Amino acid sequence: MKCPSCGRHASPRAKFCEYCGGLLAPRHSATPGPVTRSTNWPLLIAVLLGGLLLGAGIMYATRDQSQPAPVATAGFDPTLRGAPLASAFPEVFQVAAEFICPCGTCTDGLEGCDCVMVKGASEVRRFIYENLQAGHRPPHVIEMVAAKYGYRKRGGPPISFENLPPASSEPTAKQ
């Protein structure tokens, strides 16, 4: 680059001439070139993700909370335990009272445990309920639970099923 004041050659990066101190001509022409559009992709992605998160938050905040959460088996809540389970589903309670929770992290009785782990108390109580609804008698369901999950209590008195009404799907024995 040539200095317009003194005519000497100056560094192409310099703004002022190193010999006379004069202002060097700008490197770019005064006429603008073609305008190019550059998309700021990270900003665009951040705006889209922010919009999605905002929409999800609004949907979550405005959802209908008046209805209870659905249960796996219609009419039966596998999280019931203790006295509420005994009063609502006495056969399930009696069968569950024969077992310890099979989750492997606790030693609570199946009828009172609040474990919701896989193969935990809730899953086994649901299994008991479904098999009782299928027409199996409690002694048979006890054997089914013992075969599938194990953890039957030891040393307790055997459970009595004399007060239970006969299942409608099984034929009654004629005397």
CA-to-CA distance for 140 and 19, rounded, in angstroms?
A: 107
Residues 9-33: what's their mean pLDDT?
Answer: 75
- The per-residue pLDDT for 68 is 44
Confidence category of residue 33, pLDDT binned at 50, 70, 90: low
Is residue 117 a contact partner of residue 105, using CB atoms and an 8 Å limit? Answer: yes
- Phi, psi torsion values for 162, nearest 5 degrees: -65, -35
- Give the residue with greater pLDDT, 2 vs 74: 2
